[in-house]
């Protein structure tokens, strides 16, 4: 009765991973119109097996989202950068990677299905995407920000506040426009430019020895 994918560990056979990859592809192509039959056909497996492994359709969707999430656990940002140059580079690389993932077909498809299922009674895909999206980003970036503060390069009281501002400067309206189906030209060079701009603006707001940062700081909280 308990499907194997219920366990928090990723105990998936290679075959199961193949099936989930097929489901992922179908999710990207067909969105929420994905059916159990189509997954079975694409993965060359029987529906009975799908139900045995994943319980029901929701379980399959959940396992698919978790499977993708487990694949994108990015490399942690290095904290060795104590000078302004490496901190800037770290932030820029971070923003660049982030925008690249965010604008990918898989990310858009996953966020779409999670949004449409949010608020449902059953397993909450929104929480999973939230956990492996924005929250994971925060967990990875906030230590870097604090290292920058300890090194005297950044000035802020609330690390989460600073992160969320960085989020806003990087993402802006890109994600919501992609989710709403706006055709969006995001070349690699554009993304790098966006990352550079966001990082510069972030330093303008939170850089140490900056009268603007002092002003902003006095009104925080």
46 or 220: CB nearest DNA: 46
List the structure tokens of 149. 């503060």
Query: What distance in Å separates the CA atoms of residue 65 and residue 103, rounded to the nearest whole number?
Result: 17
List the structure tokens of 102. 């965010």
Instruction: Report DSSP state, residue 180.
Output: T
| Interface pick for DNA out of 9, 14, 48, 121 (rule CB under 7 A) | 48
| Alpha helix segments (H runs only) across the chain | 14-30, 36-43, 47-54, 57-71, 84-102, 105-117, 125-132, 134-150, 159-171, 174-179, 188-206, 211-218
> Contact between 103 and DNA (CB under 7 A)?
no
Where does this chain touch a copy of itself (CB under 8 A) — which range of 3-11, 55-63, 65-73, 195-203?
195-203
Number of residues that bind DNA (CB under 7 A): 21
Phi, psi of 95 (to 5 degrees): -60, -40
57 or 172: CB nearest DNA: 57
> Contact between 82 and a copy of itself (CB under 8 A)?
no
Number of residues that bind a copy of itself (CB under 8 A): 45
Q: How far is CA 101 from the centre of its chain?
A: 7
User: Which residue ranges make up the site for a copy of itself (CB under 8 A)?
Assistant: 31-32, 111-116, 118-119, 124, 126-127, 129-130, 133-134, 164-165, 167-173, 175-177, 179-182, 196-197, 200-201, 204-205, 210, 212, 215-216, 219-220
């Amino acid at each position: 009765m308990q499907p194997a994918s219920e366990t928090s560990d990723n105990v998936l056979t290679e075959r199961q991973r193949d099936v989930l990859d097929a489901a992922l592809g179908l999710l990207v192509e067909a969105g929420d119109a994905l059916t159990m039959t189509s997954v079975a056909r694409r993965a060359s497996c029987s529906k009975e097996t799908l139900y045995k492994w994943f319980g029901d359709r929701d379980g399959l969707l959940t396992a698919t989202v978790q499977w993708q999430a487990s694949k994108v656990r990015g490399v942690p940002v290095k904290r060795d950068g104590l000078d302004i140059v490496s901190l800037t580079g770290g932030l820029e690389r971070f923003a660049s990677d982030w925008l690249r993932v965010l604008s990918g077909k898989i990310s858009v498809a996953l966020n779409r299905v999670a949004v449409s299922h949010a608020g449902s009674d059953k397993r909450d895909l929104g929480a999973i995407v939230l956990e492996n999206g924005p929250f994971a980003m925060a967990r990875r970036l906030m230590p870097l920000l604090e290292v920058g503060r300890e090194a005297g390069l950044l000035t802020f009281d609330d690390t989460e506040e600073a992160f969320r501002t960085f989020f806003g400067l990087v993402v802006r309206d890109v994600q919501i426009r992609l989710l709403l189906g706006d055709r969006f030209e995001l070349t690699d060079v554009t993304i790098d430019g966006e990352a550079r701009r966001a990082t510069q603006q972030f330093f303008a707001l939170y850089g140490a020895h900056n009268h603007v940062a002092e002003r902003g700081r006095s009104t925080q909280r």
